[in-house]
Structure 1
Amino acid sequence: MAHEEIVDRYSRLARTAMTGQDVTDCDPGSFGEGCFGAVGYDDTAALPEGALRASLGCGNPVAVADLRQGDTVLDLGSGGGIDVLLSARRVGPTGKAYGLDASPDMLELARRNAGQAGVTNAEFLHGTIEHVPLPGRTVDVIISNCVINLSDDKPATLAEAFRVLRPGGRFGVSDVVTEDTATDDEPRRRTEDRIGCTAGSLTVTQYRTLLLDAGFTGITITLTAHHGDGVHSAIVQATKPPIAEGLEIRPMRDTDAEQVLDVYRIGLDTGHASFETTVPTWENFTSARLPHLRYVVTDTGTGQVVAWVAASRVSARPVYAGVIEHSVYVHPAHHSRGIGRALLNAFITASEDAGVWTIQSGVFPENTASLALHQAAGFRVVGTRERIGFHHGVWRDVLMIERRSPAVGLPAGPATSRSRGVRPCA
């Protein structure tokens, strides 16, 4: 279903709700049996009847979003406003709750409901979830209720969620997902149509991959109600990596090439960062490293890359699929700001999200700062390779360090390493 058709569909539902009628966006039997709508909530006291009538979600994201007094919250696809009103109550008068919807009729309904509820710290915005009309790094929490599955550009939606979140911001949404083992497309599509998932649901693996690509870490996908044929409602949670104010950790891009290589060059010039003596071309740099698990720290004021981390495979053999080798570099002008620790912690979390159980590297004994950084992050020295390389006219030793994940053992695959089982919906 095209974007315009979806907007028209929900506009008609909003107009119906404003006449005092109950609405559903899927088969009525599925709506009642699948824990859709207001049945998923247990704290609806004092909410307008109109907000409850127009609740079309598949869960209660407010219950898992860890909202705090003073937070700024954004609801992607806010509909009649039930989650915005609940969020506004939780963040209190010092906080703010935004609702974003593409349907002018839904916005009118939501504003009516906010007025009836006496909520003054909520604001409803007209726009799409693929192009959020808010500046970057202005929101503490993203919520959404059975809307992301409606997007025909889910990578853009998740990238926008990452963009508007502040470092350390939380992503907690209810959505529809499909089991990775659900291989029969026709029954799955019939189930999606029955429950109103008009743009198609992501599999658990696809959802996790898109969140990682956007820059999120600490990803959990908790399956809730099962709608049949491998299609579930689910709670999806993730975090934008935390770091000090004025900085941001995000995925490395090709447009970062010059600055990444400049930080690399400065590290090589110390003589204690690597056996490399010259900076490679960007083509050689990228070809030697995994296309994922590479991040930069940027100064949000200037856009300057001040640190980076990247990983490479230890071996192409399947048995080593969860073992990687990494490098981390921080511009010397930005030492002693906690940048290396924040970046390394984000990298470790993302690695575990991707099913990595061992991270290893080699460090010169003279590079005491790097050694201390890694030991603080849970790495241990497993041995010394004596006189392993001739570097600047001197035979050098290398300390071999590694970190074994306590969260990832020998997983069936990265898609399920942090997924959880089914639970009832209310």
Structure 2
Amino acid sequence: MTETPMAPQHLPAARPAGCPFDPPAGLARLRERSALTRMEFPDGHHGWLATGYSVVRAVLADPRFSHRNDRRHWPLADIGQGLPPIPGDMLHLDRPEHTRYRRLLASRFTMRRMRRFTDVITEIVAARLDAMRHRGGPVELVEVFARPIPMLSVCELLGVPPEDRDRFTPHVRPDRGGAEELPTTFVDMGFTAMQDYFRDLAATRRTTPADDLLSDLATSGDFPDDELAGLAAIMLLAGVESTTSMLSLGVFALLTHPDQLTALRARPELADRAVEELMRYLSVVHTGARAALVDVELAGQVVKAGETVALSLQSANRDPARFDAPDELDIGRVPGGHLGFGSGIHPCLGKELARIEMRVAFPALFDRFPTLRLVDPEDIEMRDPSDNVYGVRQLHVTW
């Protein structure tokens, strides 16, 4: 056992000037000293910060650590411990409750099933590109491209009628708090209204089912009304927020790495690798947290029961002990092992859908607009460090 540092660190948040894609430099310095460091949380809780890849991955896979908001402290803002999970909130449940949701939903989110959805996503992307062409440059890419693609894709998957889809746009925005990790913001985002909507839609689908996920879930008998309404609303929020940021920030990254964009254009078959590399390199969902349920020996330290471990996914994804030249964007890199979709007990349920959206959207955008370029690249405003989902607030482009 090593001696526990006496002076807790604060979570490094300042990114290097002029390097919007790099994690805060303080994370690498901490990782070099120790993969697990004492940390003071914004609410005063003294817990831990995991920066090394092996430690972050170990915590994500360990059932002795809880993902419940009412047991952990939040590392990005002073909200202390949150509320118990609402019905349907499988994201913030532990075993065995989480296992029940995962078992019932896993067969509905298989890679094969999601790939059958590719034609639908291709049509959505093509329609957004047509709208961009019709409008003419310059355009704000988040508004016309990055947000509509996952929004329409998840609505199509759930079976939200086309005439109702616009009502969700104000509640899922890239300049709002990260819905996946901050459920206390759900009220501010109109989450109750979203639950009410899906409760009514599920009741309709029970009597008149269609070929969509909500009909499947509503007629299965596996979920009571409150669970189904909460689950559908969370799917929409979680499925849109991070993919919106990945699409917009990914375009920003490729346009500022012309060698990588040239390689993608020359070899469209690299799209799969490009998506995985951008997930690693950008780490838009950059920080998580778990609370120890019992005393756990970890990286030569003892994490006491009740202490929260903050997980720096962005630091883990740039750990030179796991990735060669980790600070370089290399779309030819052999993919595997990144934590962009989480890992362990709580991997992202919709990761295959998100992958397909990006695999289709990135090549299609640059194929349709080969002269695409940033407008005022020095003035692009990034999201606040306290937002759990990192990205741009707006991205103006032209061609």
Shorter-chain TM-score tier: under 0.3
Question: What is the TM-score with the length of structure 1 in the denominator?
Answer: 0.20
Q: Which has the larger radius of gyration?
A: 1
Determine which structure has the larger strand proportion and give its number.
1
Question: What is the TM-score with the length of structure 2 in the denominator?
Answer: 0.21
